[in-house]
Structure 1
Amino acid sequence: MCSGADFDPRQLIDGVVAGAADLAESDDPLDAEMLGAAFVSIGALNWEAFEQALIEGFVPQFEDKASTGALAMLLAIGSVAPGQAGKAASAAADRLVEAGVEPPRWAAELAEPVKIADCQHLQDAQGAEAMLACVFHRAGRSHAVMVSVDNLDCGAAGDILLLDSDQLPAALEITRADARASGVELTTEVLDAAEFRWQVERALDTRAVHDSELDDLDGVPDDEDGPGYPVLAMLMRARMTALPTPNKPPASHGDGETGLTTLQMLAQLVGSGGPFGAGGPVARRGRPMVAELPAKPKRSGRPAPVYQIKVGLRGAKPPIWRRLEVPADLSLARLHQVIQVAFGWYDSHLHVFETPYGDFGLADVELGHRAEAPVTLEQVAPRVNAKLRYTYDFGDDWQHDILVEKVHNRDAAAYLRCTGGRRAAPPEDCGGVWGYADLVEILNDPDHPEHQEQLEWLGLDSASEFDPGRFDAEAITKALSSLR
């Protein structure tokens, strides 16, 4: 297919229709919507061109097949495709039915209106992360959806979870319990249907802008355990159109920004010394202005308090985390060193702190990172329950969630120390949290074909020398003493 010369588009049409013929035997119209979303989401990042291809190419060719599978595919596309493409697919499906093609069993149910209930918005006090959840009802069937929202990433949608409606209460309680375990209490707000639509579409639109900035489709992460984000996002967009129109305009995402002048960029890089220095607003391509960085507190000679922070490795299962005590006025450059020591990283890759006040790391105009050395922890996390994110190694993408759990007055005790934690950190360059999970599985299986190779890569003689459950707070505190 990739060679070009041997590719026959008719083979693609035949294959899709054959797959849709199996769909015709299904009872649940949600299966049709998922197939339609999977097909339509292929062109989500270049919609204008793909919409034309649907209207002028795919839809007519499906209609020409005049089979149950072709009708199922047209109904599936019509259920989710926006604009003229969806209308063209639905009209073609109607013509096939009129011509005598038998519709699938779920066709009538698919045409029933979708109703929404239990719209909820969960958010932590700091507003760093949120969750949108609801239940959809149609023709006696129900299912629930949860959409995570990352306000440290401009409010972009993160994961989308589709589950049975009776599973939603338990899923929300797990979300609240996980937050409480991290010292965060989530508040719950009940939304009406129009506000829920506005919130979801804002998150999806922001994510779409970010995804469009990727170099190619390979940059969009996939979910091997089920439908990927693009498929579920397409389904959610279709569902939102069935809800009341919000009485406020769509949220903008960088509209009207003029970009930064060279002087403004330079001022951001040095972190101070100009009207757009460390305390000024930051505009990133396709992203809104971030909040103004607070000034450093004035203490009249009094020492800064001590922050108790919890640093957790995002996505690690079982959880991997460290509880640390550090001075509030610690610079982000110094905090970077502390995290490196606490997790045993080698500081051989790039890193960045993502905060409500911008991204800080090694100054880089292209990446939009401002200088971290002039900025302190208490500036970007000024209170208890404040959150920020630290990412190390943009390839393996080790993301660390940092939470301010407590603020203590400074005493004579050592103030760079580890007071708790769980499990050993992964070895560097092992492929991120998913690669680490594979590594652990391989090392636990002496018969695995890569077992010996991985032992040699780690420099171990035996898998017994590898203990992912190992954690030693005192050893970390001793290592941190070298940073003072």
Structure 2
Amino acid sequence: MSPISRGRKPKKPKNQLSRPPRPFPDVSRVERWPKLLHGPIELSDCAVQGQVDQDLVVLAATLTAGKRSVGVEVVVNGREVDVIELHPDPADALGVLRGGFEVAEAPLTPEEFRSQVEAALIVKADSDAWLRKVAPQLFELGSRPESDLPQRAGQLRRWLGLPEYEPVPRSRGTDSLPLVLPPPGKATGMWIAVAVEEPEPAIWRRLEVRTDLTLAALHRTFAAVFGRDEQQDHRFETAYGGFSADGQGGEGDRLDDQVLLGQVVTAPGHRLAYEAERWRHWIRVEQLVALPEAPSCLDGERAAPPPECEDGQAYEMLLEAMRDSDAEENEDLLEELGGYGFDPEWFDREGVNARLG
């Protein structure tokens, strides 16, 4: 009988965080918010910042009214706003993720900043409304009494000139933006970070691709990058709906060979999700660059799970078995899950680019 079918569960390492500690609002300044800025607001120095191996970004900008300027920091976790904070020194707004981490930064236009903040506020409002509807007691239990995020969100909307929004009870996985695809723009190059969602520490790659690549071609690129069979079932989740090979990956899915990458993500900080069989990944745009001739891998960490590992649980079981590879009970497991000769810390950029070529 297979070790997997015997129901062995992988052991999780102790004291392991799934993501870095997140900053929380400084509630001591709640009452001062409305008094900080008066008159027309000018938006400048907009940027997005993110750690390469985490699906968490900071949108930062300088807000100026008259002679007063402050920095605004909007932490987006997944696709929704997690924290909104003001900084008397505008430069501090981009200091949250610095401090020993590898951080990618890119400038945004004021309109791109407004658009990304608005989209993240919508997802947050909708998910809160959904949770309040389906589990009101859980929602109240999970809401910190001292949290002033809704008030800060409303004030930020007014400062940025965003329209008022009436939440629709939708879960986080529901598309919050229109399903009508924008027309393709001018082709350019794009740096994207893609990471396998489950393992910690993260398995990630930084790729340079073209925005005129179809999502079907992007799937083939990922198959080469992670050493998988490109015939695997897969699906992309975007703000404009789902896309899969046959349009049957989910309700309302469309064909992934009929949409370009640059139609569903257009600026640094934009993101989408990708599933290949039972493996889920997140993808984040880091910056726009000159148009490359072909996809290439720029950086990354750790080996992709062996093809024999069909999901995150199997991979965790493999890692556990490798920590005690001499144990007789682990021999069959190592063979079944491709553990012999596998080094989880090995990353071969040249080998990845050879497969891409």
Aligned residues: 269
What is the one-letter code of the residue matched to 1:474?
A: E
Structure 2 match to 1:57? none
Structure 2 match to 1:181? 103
Cα distance, 1:285 vs structure 2? 11
- The one of 249, 273, 276 equivalent to 1:389 is 273
Cα distance, 1:425 vs structure 2? 0.5
- The 3 A distance-change label for structure 1 pair 360 and 179 is farther
Structure 2 match to 1:368? 252
Secondary structure at the aligned position of 1:402 is classed as strand
Report the Cα distance in structure 2 between the residues aligned to 1:355 and 1:179, rounded to whole angstroms: 28
TM-score normalised according to structure 1 size? 0.44
Structure 1 match to 2:306? 427
Q: Within 5 A, what are the aligned runs for 1:33-182?
A: 117=28, 125=48, 149-151=77-79, 155=80, 175=97, 181-182=103-104
- The 3 A distance-change label for structure 1 pair 198 and 335 is closer
- The 3 A distance-change label for structure 1 pair 459 and 180 is closer
Runs of 5+ unmatched residues, structure 1: 1-114, 132-146, 161-171, 187-196, 213-229, 256-283, 299-303
Cα distance, 1:242 vs structure 2? 10
Secondary structure at the aligned position of 2:303 is classed as coil
Report the Cα distance in structure 1 between the residues aligned to 2:81 and 2:148, rounded to whole angstroms: 22
- Which structure's CA Rg is the greater one? 1
Structure with the larger RCO, 1 or 2 (CA within 8 Å, 6+ apart): 2
- The 3 A distance-change label for structure 1 pair 183 and 343 is farther
**Do structure 1's residue 329 and structure 2's residue 212 form an aligned pair?**
yes
Cα distance, 1:471 vs structure 2? 1.6
Report the Cα distance in structure 1 between the residues aligned to 2:233 and 2:272, rounded to whole angstroms: 17
Alpha-carbon contact 1:321-1:422 (below 8 Å) kept = yes
- The 3 A distance-change label for structure 1 pair 208 and 329 is farther
- The 3 A distance-change label for structure 1 pair 447 and 336 is same
**Do structure 1's residue 293 and structure 2's residue 181 form an aligned pair?**
yes
Report the Cα distance in structure 1 between the residues aligned to 2:255 and 2:147, rounded to whole angstroms: 43
Percent identical residues: 28
Report the Cα distance in structure 2 between the residues aligned to 1:473 and 1:285, rounded to whole angstroms: 33
Alpha-carbon contact 1:384-1:407 (below 8 Å) kept = no
Cα distance, 1:287 vs structure 2? 5.4
Alpha-carbon contact 1:421-1:471 (below 8 Å) kept = yes
Alpha-carbon contact 1:352-1:361 (below 8 Å) kept = yes
Cα distance, 1:206 vs structure 2? 3.7
Structure 1 match to 2:237? 354
Cα distance, 1:477 vs structure 2? 1.5
TM-score normalised according to structure 2 size? 0.58
- The one of 79, 104, 128 equivalent to 1:204 is 128
- The one of 375, 380, 398 equivalent to 2:280 is 398
Alpha-carbon contact 1:387-1:401 (below 8 Å) kept = yes
Secondary structure at the aligned position of 2:182 is classed as coil
Structure 2 match to 1:480? 356
Cα distance, 1:311 vs structure 2? 1.8
- The 3 A distance-change label for structure 1 pair 313 and 469 is same
Structure 2 match to 1:344? 227
Report the Cα distance in structure 1 between the residues aligned to 2:356 and 2:203, rounded to whole angstroms: 18
Alpha-carbon contact 1:320-1:423 (below 8 Å) kept = yes
Secondary structure at the aligned position of 1:239 is classed as coil
Point out the structure with the larger helix share: 1
Cα distance, 1:467 vs structure 2? 0.7
Point out the structure with the larger strand share: 2
